[in-house]
Structure 1
């Protein structure tokens, strides 16, 4: 039993140990940043761990959970047993859309995406995806950050941290029309703030994108009240105060990130409006993307902007298309969502290919999970996180290839299962990054996107 004197001695020593641990962590973090960052710009290009197949990523995020058994996962047994009782209740429901073999590869893709299906020979279908959450917020967060439980850096932030960007006057990570509440899914968490995503456009829901060529969007970026010289003087004063704070308090990642973000924002005013101005695109190009009016216009402009950002040197571009959560009225609403994005996605793939960009641009398509083979009501499907499909194209993946499988109805992944951690590890691998070596020291341990899990799916690498 401790007496009063011994208790005070132990407690005071414990507080000293805590202080020492904090100082040691700060010193290591400063040393790590000094080793990794370029002298003037933390966003400057960095060497990959090994030769990369892809220089950049375009992530087509289908928010809401598109149905794999109605799009990219052909289940003839589901059609045969239509109306029978499902494994977990409800009646099995065949797809309202016919599946056909596409391209020279013969990949089975449904009539829900006829335009995208024309690019089957450029695509790898991962038909054995699974994640840990059947609820939208958790599954969406895990798809972006690898975890449901904690605030962690997003896939885009890790990519930017690992490789930097090719254009110092643009954000290295752009999120087009991210939905409200998506800050965590595009954030940098404990990484320096400069690696977080920059949101461009409004909405993220169905048809809510504000065309970036609209003058209002340009005015949101440029400051019309002050000249460039006046802004520079104003910014110099703010940065002087920020750097004074940094010198006084030493290691302050938030302040360092703010300094870099202010400088980037100043440079963006001249570069960003030019990249976002679609007025120099030909009528033929606009038509290719469906960005010339009608139901494809909003998402078509997003996909066209994604290509322009990719050309301009942005490392990671995310494009969001929402409204895929059909618990009822699936036939009509899934069709409407697909009509809005089928031609724009096909246009993006065709445009990247004709510009010789597809070989080193990794295009990813997917939602946070899939949907059940059994009907919910008369014409709907429930959430399904146990088995669903994503696809990749370009960027070093095999074309016309299918990996993994769900069971005969599409309930769960059963062959060559691919968890979100494996998906993330593979994306980083294609970018030339070893997911086990891409780490950041925080709270006394080395963190990584894949935590302590993940295996690269080498079978899909060309």
Structure 2
């Protein structure tokens, strides 16, 4: 063994500059900020401290719960009421409406683009008079808590790039997700649970489901400790959260102490920041051995609360069970909870499959908002609901009075927000008579992301991370604007 040779082998060009950059940067930062930096230092002992200088201003919301309906819910059948479409049943979509816009290869070969009005009834609800489909009876009861945005639009027309776009602000893989950005910038109030937690609940078995990719909750170019921690729906929420037979908590602590010392030695030699991430993640895993079983124990929840969520609340892996755990997580200091529910891609048999999807989620979504409000948490918790794009007004495949399908439509779709800093009972934006084009108040997906950051106390234009020579941002390099009309 030659220690000098080992040292030189470890000192690759990347690692050398990584070490020098980290150390020189630390010295420069300390000299520039001085006492001002010290005044903003995080409280001692915080596992997930915020970045210095964040939030930029007083936040309206301290936590985010993001409900992503993967596959693209049909805005025409849920939120964007178009009664004037009925006379157009089975007639060709006017070229003046489509105006040469691209369509997917799934319908580009069809002989006709036949208009398919929604078969579902709509009614106005609440003091706001918001039009809501009969498919959403529970959400209809809370419309006065929501800000419904009817004019969200995106660039992507296929699921994978569209989901990547809505969660990371870019269609290009490798960027950081919104949950990771918030965990990185704002940290967490909990020392015993991750700053960013993800659920991927089950969905109705007869529904077609697009795959979920980890990039939707990945930290991308940010340190990997900011990647969302996915809690499992079956078995232990976290693999190996329990100690194996014959190993107690004291033994585990002794082993981790020794492992941490070895990692610290290696970090001194190599300077790889990912080693620090491993140390932090091992420590978090140790704390989660005590915090996760308590988190998932619903025995102390009141009967009224459990009934409000619905019959699936005690079924691990269900959307309903994930929703109540989301509330319990943010109560315990987790910054971001993301629930991704699959099966919303109805290219055919939409009336049947959409009904099943909504039945699986409607009550739980409404219960989550009301549960947060009853506990005084809604004022500073932001809840976001939506998909990656919308659905076409024309039918994909055979059209009948009670059966149709809808293709992908990026030009406009609906999302809603509730809670911290959002103006309740608001409907923002208008689409044309075919729910095909936006005619008033368009909202780009990164306008919405900028607004979410704003509500969390962050100026999106000043929130960046240097990577590949660029100041990377969640909202990209183009100019985006806050959706001020939905802000309280």
What TM bracket, shorter-length normalisation? 0.7 to 0.9
Match of 1:188 in 2: 219
1:232 aligns with 2:253: yes
Report SS of the residue matched to 2:188.
coil
Moved more, 178-187 or 301-310: 178-187
Question: In structure 2, do the counterparts of structure 1 residues 24 and 455 end up closer, same or farther at CA, with 3 Å as the change threshold?
Answer: farther
Matched, 1:425 2:450: yes
Tell whether the 8 Å contact from 2:313 to 2:320 is kept in structure 1 after alignment.
no
After TM superposition, the structure 1 = structure 2 runs for residues 277-426 of structure 1, keeping only pairs within 5 Å, are: 277-292=297-312, 298-377=318-397, 378=399, 379-426=404-451
SS at match of 1:426: helix
Q: Distance in 2 between matches of 1:26 and 1:282?
A: 50
**Are residues 1:445 and 2:466 paired?**
no
The equivalent of 1:273 in structure 2 is 293
Matching of residue 242 in structure 1 with residue 273 in structure 2: no
Separation of aligned partners in 2, 1:339 and 1:117 = 13
Aligned residue in 2 for 1:43: 48
Q: Distance in 2 between matches of 1:416 and 1:384?
A: 18
- Counterpart in 2 of 1:10? none
Mean Cα displacement is larger for which, 265-274 or 408-417?
Answer: 408-417
Checking the alignment, whether the CA contact within 8 Å between 1:290 and 1:297 is kept in structure 2 is no
Deviates more, 1:297-306 or 1:320-329: 297-306
CA contact (8 A) 1:388 1:412 kept: no
Query: Are residues 1:456 and 2:470 paired?
Result: no
- Per the TM alignment, residue 217 of structure 1 is displaced from its structure 2 partner at its CA by 3.9
Q: Distance in 2 between matches of 1:33 and 1:96?
A: 61
Asked if 1:221 is matched to 2:226, the reply is: no
- Cα deviation digits, residues 86-126 of structure 1 (max 9, x gap): 14541111111111111001011111111101101011111
How far residue 266 of structure 1 moved from its aligned partner, in angstroms, is 1.0
The CA deviation at 1:437 is 1.2
Deviations 1:55-81 (A, max 9, x none): 101111101110001111111222332
Choose 342-351 or 424-433, whichever is displaced more.
342-351
The CA distance in 2 between the partners of 1:124 and 1:156, in whole Å, is: 21
Separation in structure 1 between the aligned mates of residue 241 and residue 87 of structure 2, nearest angstrom? 55
Q: Secondary structure at the match of 2:219?
A: coil
Deviation at 1:339?
Answer: 0.8
Distance verdict in 2 for CA 1:129–1:232, change over 3 Å: same
Structure 2 contact 312–318 (Cα < 8 Å) conserved:
no
Q: Point out the more displaced range, 112-121 or 436-445.
A: 436-445
Q: Which consecutive unaligned segments of at least 5 residues does structure 1 have? A: 1-16, 203-209
293 and 392 in structure 1: CA distance in 2 versus 1, 3 angstrom threshold: closer
Write the deviation string for residues 230-261 of structure 1: whole angstroms up to 9, x where unpaired: 111111222112111111122x2222211111
Task: Please give the alpha-carbon distance, in whole angstroms, between the structure 2 residues aligned to 1:232 and 1:294.
Answer: 32
Are the counterparts in 2 of residues 296 and 339 from structure 1 also a CA contact under 8 Å? no
Q: CA deviation at 1:149?
A: 1.5
* 2:50–2:188 contact (8 Å) kept in structure 1: yes
Instruction: Supply the distance in 1 between the matched residues of 2:384 and 2:28 (Cα, whole angstroms).
Output: 31
Residue 407 of structure 1 and its aligned partner are, at CA, apart by 1.8
CA contact (8 A) 1:129 1:418 kept: yes
Partner-residue secondary structure (3-state), 1:397: coil
CA contact (8 A) 1:327 1:380 kept: yes
- Is residue 58 from structure 1 mapped to residue 78 from structure 2 by the alignment? no
Q: Is the Cα contact below 8 Å between 2:465 and 2:472 reproduced in 1?
A: yes
Matched residue of 2:278: which SS?
helix
1:135-183 deviation digits (Å, cap 9, x = unpaired): 1111011111111123111000101111110101100100012796521
Q: In structure 1, what is the Cα distance between the partners aligned to 2:199 and 2:129?
A: 33
Report SS of the residue matched to 1:279: coil
> For structure 1, which segment, 119-128 or 443-452, has the greater mean C-alpha deviation from structure 2 after superposition?
443-452
Q: Using a 3 Å threshold, how does the CA distance of structure 1 residues 329 and 241 change in structure 2: closer, same or farther? A: same
Rounded Cα–Cα distance in structure 2 between residues aligned with 1:24 and 1:92: 63
Preserved CA contact (<8 Å) 2:150 2:431 = yes
8 Å Cα contact 1:365-1:390 kept in structure 2 = yes
Q: Is the 8 A contact 1:44 1:168 kept in 2?
A: no
In structure 1, what is the Cα distance between the partners aligned to 2:60 and 2:297?
A: 30
The structure 2 residue matched to 1:118, chosen from 141, 151, 154, is 141
Q: CA deviation at 1:22?
A: 7.0
Q: Is the 8 A contact 1:388 1:406 kept in 2?
A: no
Shift in CA distance, 19/113, structure 1 to aligned 2, threshold 3 Å: closer
What is the aligned residue count?
Answer: 434
Q: Can you list the C-alpha shifts for 1:266-312, whole angstroms capped at 9, x where unaligned? A: 11111121011112223322111014579999221111111111111
2:191 corresponds to which of 142, 163, 168: 168
Q: Distance in 2 between matches of 1:295 and 1:98?
A: 31
Q: Distance in 2 between matches of 1:223 and 1:260?
A: 19
Residue 197 of structure 2 aligns to a residue in which SS?
A: strand
CA distance in 1, matches of 2:241, 2:285: 9
| Alignment correspondent of 1:69 | 76
Partner residue of 1:6?
none
